[in-house]
Amino acid sequence: MNLNYIIPNEWSIIEEGFDKTQATASESIFSIGNGAMGQRANFEEHYSGKTFQGSYIGGIYYPDKTRVGWWKNGYPEYFAKVLNAPNWIGIDVKINDEQLDLNSCLAQDFYRELNMKDGFLKRSFKTTLKNGNQVAVESVRFLSLDINEIGAIKYSVTPLNFSGEIEFTPYIDAGIKNEDTNYDELFWEVLDIEDRDNDAVILSKTLKTNFYVATGMRFSYELNGQTIKLPHTVIEGEKRIDYTSKKLIAIGETLSLIKFGGYCQSMNHTEDELISCAQNNLSNAATIGFDGLLKKQKEAWAKIWETSDIIIDGDVKAQQAIRFNIFQLNQTYSGEDSRLNIGPKGFTGEKYGGSTYWDTEAYCIPFYMSTKDKEVARNLLLYRYNQLDKAIENAEKLGFNSGAALYPMVTMNGEECHNEWEITFEEIHRNGAMIYAIYNYVNYTGDYNYIPEFGMEVMIAVARFWHQRATYSNAKNQYMILGVTGPNEYENNVNNNFYTNYLAKWCIEYTAENLEKLQNEFKADYDRIIETTKLSDLEIEAWLKVANLMYFPISEKHNIYLQQDGFLDKEIIPVSELSKRDRPINQKWSWDRILRSCYIKQADVLQGMYLFENNFEKETIEKHFDFYEPITVHESSLSPCIHSILAASFDRMPKAYEQYLRTSRLDLDDYNHEVHEGLHITSMAGTWSAIVQGFGGMRNFDGQLSFHPQIPKEWKSYSFKINFRGSTLKVYKNQTECVFTNESEIPVQIIVDGVEKIISKNDLVTI
Amino acid sequence: MNLNYIIPNEWSIIEEGFDKTQATASESIFSIGNGAMGQRANFEEHYSGKTFQGSYIGGIYYPDKTRVGWWKNGYPEYFAKVLNAPNWIGIDVKINDEQLDLNSCLAQDFYRELNMKDGFLKRSFKTTLKNGNQVAVESVRFLSLDINEIGAIKYSVTPLNFSGEIEFTPYIDAGIKNEDTNYDELFWEVLDIEDRDNDAVILSKTLKTNFYVATGMRFSYELNGQTIKLPHTVIEGEKRIDYTSKKLIAIGETLSLIKFGGYCQSMNHTEDELISCAQNNLSNAATIGFDGLLKKQKEAWAKIWETSDIIIDGDVKAQQAIRFNIFQLNQTYSGEDSRLNIGPKGFTGEKYGGSTYWDTEAYCIPFYMSTKDKEVARNLLLYRYNQLDKAIENAEKLGFNSGAALYPMVTMNGEECHNEWEITFEEIHRNGAMIYAIYNYVNYTGDYNYIPEFGMEVMIAVARFWHQRATYSNAKNQYMILGVTGPNEYENNVNNNFYTNYLAKWCIEYTAENLEKLQNEFKADYDRIIETTKLSDLEIEAWLKVANLMYFPISEKHNIYLQQDGFLDKEIIPVSELSKRDRPINQKWSWDRILRSCYIKQADVLQGMYLFENNFEKETIEKHFDFYEPITVHESSLSPCIHSILAASFDRMPKAYEQYLRTSRLDLDDYNHEVHEGLHITSMAGTWSAIVQGFGGMRNFDGQLSFHPQIPKEWKSYSFKINFRGSTLKVYKNQTECVFTNESEIPVQIIVDGVEKIISKNDLVTI
CA angle at A660 for the pair A655 and A664, rounded to the nearest 5°: 165
Confidence at residue B183, expressed as pLDDT on a 0 to 100 scale: 53
Q: Does the beta carbon of A472 lie under 8 angstroms from any beta carbon of chain B?
A: yes
Query: Cβ of A482 and B569 within 8 Å?
Result: yes
pLDDT bracket for residue B347 (50, 70, 90): very high
Q: In this structure, which amino acid lies at residue B17? A: G
Percentages of chain A per state (helix, strand, coil), in multiples of 5: 35, 25, 40
Give the whole-angstrom CA distance, residue A446 versus residue A450: 9
**For B239-276, what is each residue's pLDDT tens digit?**
999 999 999 999 999 999 999 999 999 999 999 999 99
**For A336-365, what is each residue's pLDDT tens digit?**
899 999 988 999 998 766 679 999 999 999
Closest CB to A493 among B474, B492, B593: B492
Name residues whose C-beta falls within 8 Å of residue A430's C-beta, 6 or more positions apart in sequence: A357, A358, A361, A407, A409
SS3 A100: coil
Backbone angles phi, psi at A295, to 5 degrees: -65, -45
SS3 B23: helix
pLDDT bracket for residue A684 (50, 70, 90): very high
pLDDT bracket for residue B766 (50, 70, 90): confident
Helix and strand totals (H; E) in chain A = 21, 32
Give the whole-angstrom CA distance, residue A29 versus residue A41: 8
Task: Give the orientation angle of helix B498-521 with respect to helix B430-445, to 10 degrees.
Answer: 50
Q: In this structure, which amino acid lies at residue B20? A: K
Does the pLDDT value for residue B99 go beyond 90?
yes
Closest residue in B to A592 (Cα) is B425
Confidence at residue A187, expressed as pLDDT on a 0 to 100 scale: 84
Confidence at residue A767, expressed as pLDDT on a 0 to 100 scale: 79
Q: Which of residues 552-571 of B touch A (CB under 8 A)?
A: 557, 565-566, 568-571
Q: Does the beta carbon of B9 lie under 8 angstroms from any beta carbon of chain A?
A: no
User: Chain B contacts of A566, Cβ < 8 Å?
Assistant: 495, 565-566
Tell me the average pLDDT across A313-332: 96
pTM across the whole model: 0.91
Q: Does the beta carbon of B572 lie under 8 angstroms from any beta carbon of chain A?
A: yes
Give the whole-angstrom CA distance, residue B57 versus residue B33: 10
Q: Which of residues 341-400 of A touch B (CB under 8 A)?
A: 397-399
Partnered with residue B202 across adjacent β-strands are B193, B215
Does the pLDDT value for residue A182 go beyond 70?
no
pLDDT bracket for residue B1 (50, 70, 90): low
Query: Cβ of B425 and A493 within 8 Å?
Result: no
DSSP label at residue B744: S
Cα end-to-end distance, chain A, whole Å:
42
pLDDT bracket for residue A709 (50, 70, 90): very high
Give the whole-angstrom CA distance, residue A84 versus residue A662: 30
SS3 A646: helix
Query: Cβ of A571 and B471 within 8 Å?
Result: yes
Q: In this structure, which amino acid lies at residue A97? A: D
User: Chain A contacts of B558, Cβ < 8 Å?
Assistant: none
* CA nearest neighbour of B377 among B414, B418, B329: B329
**For B38-68, what is each residue's pLDDT tens digit?**
999 999 999 999 999 999 999 998 887 766 6
Answer for the pair B624, B609: CB distance below 8 angstroms, yes or no.
yes
Give the whole-angstrom CA distance, residue A485 versus residue B591: 14
Cα end-to-end distance, chain B, whole Å:
42
Query: Cβ of A483 and B68 within 8 Å?
Result: no
DSSP B202-260: EEEEETTT--EEEEEEEEEEEETTEEE----EEEE-SSEEEEEEEEEE-TT--EEEEEE
Tell me the average pLDDT across A636-645: 94
User: Chain A contacts of B593, Cβ < 8 Å?
Assistant: 398-399
Q: What is the share, in percent, of chain A residues with pLDDT greater than 90? A: 87
Selected for mutation to probe chain B from A490, A493, A550, A555 (highest B CB count within 10 Å) is A493
CA angle at B513 for the pair B511 and B519, rounded to the nearest 5°: 100
Name residues whose C-beta falls within 8 Å of residue B445's C-beta, 6 or more positions apart in sequence: B369, B374, B377, B378, B725
Q: What is the largest CA-CA distance in chain A?
A: 90
Give the whole-angstrom CA distance, residue A581 versus residue A247: 58
Name residues whose C-beta falls within 8 Å of residue A5's C-beta, 6 or more positions apart in sequence: A15, A19, A22, A669, A670
pLDDT bracket for residue B186 (50, 70, 90): confident
Give the whole-angstrom CA distance, residue A48 versus residue A55: 18
pLDDT bracket for residue A78 (50, 70, 90): confident
Answer for the pair B321, B327: CB distance below 8 angstroms, yes or no.
no
Q: In this structure, which amino acid lies at residue B288? A: I
* CA nearest neighbour of B139 among B259, B298, B300, B262: B259
Does the pLDDT value for residue A744 go beyond 80?
yes
Which residue blocks in A453-575 are alpha helix, DSSP H?
A: 456-469, 498-521, 523-533, 537-548
Confidence at residue B353, expressed as pLDDT on a 0 to 100 scale: 63
SS3 A636: coil
Task: Give the orientation angle of helix B537-548 with respect to helix B498-521, to 10 degrees.
Answer: 150
Query: What is this model's ipTM?
Result: 0.88
pLDDT bracket for residue A82 (50, 70, 90): confident
pLDDT bracket for residue B706 (50, 70, 90): very high
Answer for the pair A309, A156: CB distance below 8 angstroms, yes or no.
no
SS3 A710: coil
Closest CB to A589 among B73, B419, B473: B73
Rounded to a whole number, what is the distance in Å from the CA of A476 to chain B's nearest CA?
7
Q: Does the beta carbon of A581 lie under 8 angstroms from any beta carbon of chain B?
A: no
DSSP A284-299: HHHHHHHHHHHHHHHH
Does the pLDDT value for residue A67 go beyond 80?
no
Q: Does the beta carbon of A65 lie under 8 angstroms from any beta carbon of chain B?
A: no
Q: Which fold has domain A373-633?
A: Glycosyltransferase (1.50.10)
Top CATH class, A31-308: mainly beta
Does the pLDDT value for residue B209 go beyond 90?
no
Q: In this structure, which amino acid lies at residue A40? A: R
Give the whole-angstrom CA distance, residue B184 versus residue B182: 6
Confidence at residue A353, expressed as pLDDT on a 0 to 100 scale: 63
Of the listed ranges A258-262, B257-261, B340-344, B695-699, the least confidently predicted one is B340-344
Query: Cβ of A571 and B419 within 8 Å?
Result: no
Task: Count the residues in chain B.
Answer: 767
Q: How far is CA B417 from the centre of its chain?
A: 17
DSSP A126-150: EEE-TTS-EEEEEEEEEE-SSSTT-
Tell me the average pLDDT across B161-181: 89
Rounded to a whole number, what is the distance in Å from the CA of A444 to chain B's nearest CA?
36
Confidence at residue A573, expressed as pLDDT on a 0 to 100 scale: 96
Backbone angles phi, psi at A213, to 5 degrees: -135, 125
Confidence at residue A404, expressed as pLDDT on a 0 to 100 scale: 98
Which one of the listed residues B27, B415, B489, B635 is annotated catalytic? B489
pLDDT bracket for residue A233 (50, 70, 90): very high
pLDDT bracket for residue A514 (50, 70, 90): very high
Q: In this structure, which amino acid lies at residue B435? A: I
Q: How far is CA B317 from the centre of its chain?
A: 21
Confidence at residue A220, expressed as pLDDT on a 0 to 100 scale: 97
Task: Give the orientation angle of helix B537-548 with respect to helix B456-469, to 10 degrees.
Answer: 60
| Burial degree of B672 (CB within 10 A; 0-12, 13-18, 19+) | middle
Give the whole-angstrom CA distance, residue A633 versus residue A576: 10
To the query of whether residue B489 is one of the catalytic residues in this protein, the response is yes
Tell me the average pLDDT across B408-418: 90
Tell me the average pLDDT across B73-88: 83
Top CATH class, B56-306: mainly beta
Task: Give the orientation angle of helix A456-469 with respect to helix A537-548, to 10 degrees.
Answer: 60
Tell me the average pLDDT across A688-710: 96
Q: In this structure, which amino acid lies at residue A595? A: L
Confidence at residue A153, expressed as pLDDT on a 0 to 100 scale: 98
- The neighbour count for residue A247, using CB atoms within 10 Å, is 16
Does the pLDDT value for residue A76 go beyond 90?
no
Query: Cβ of A596 and B472 within 8 Å?
Result: no
Backbone angles phi, psi at B114, to 5 degrees: -100, 105
Query: Cβ of B471 and A557 within 8 Å?
Result: no
Q: What is the 3-state secondary structure (H, E, C) of B30-75?
A: CCEECCCEEECCCCCCCCCCCCCCCEEEEEEEEEEECCCCCCCCCC
Which one of the listed residues A489, A629, A635, A677 is annotated catalytic? A489
Whole-number mean pLDDT of chain A?
Answer: 94
Confidence at residue A1, expressed as pLDDT on a 0 to 100 scale: 53
Name residues whose C-beta falls within 8 Å of residue A581's C-beta, 6 or more positions apart in sequence: A588
Give CA separation, A224 vs A99, A123, A230, in Å: 22, 18, 14
Answer for the pair B198, B218: CB distance below 8 angstroms, yes or no.
yes
pLDDT bracket for residue B128 (50, 70, 90): very high
Q: What is the share, in percent, of chain B residues with pLDDT greater than 70? A: 98
Confidence at residue B4, expressed as pLDDT on a 0 to 100 scale: 77
Selected for mutation to probe chain A from B68, B71, B489, B493 (highest A CB count within 10 Å) is B493
**For B647-674, what is each residue's pLDDT tens digit?**
999 999 999 999 999 889 989 998 878 8
Query: Cβ of B595 and A68 within 8 Å?
Result: no
Query: Cβ of A480 and B569 within 8 Å?
Result: yes
Give the whole-angstrom CA distance, residue B442 versus residue B454: 12
Peptide bond into B584 cis (omega under 30): yes
Answer for the pair A54, A41: CB distance below 8 angstroms, yes or no.
no
pLDDT bracket for residue B355 (50, 70, 90): confident
DSSP label at residue A8: P
Q: Which of residues 272-331 of B touch A (CB under 8 A)?
A: none
pLDDT bracket for residue A418 (50, 70, 90): confident
* CA nearest neighbour of A283 among A228, A218, A337: A218
Query: Cβ of B420 and A495 within 8 Å?
Result: no
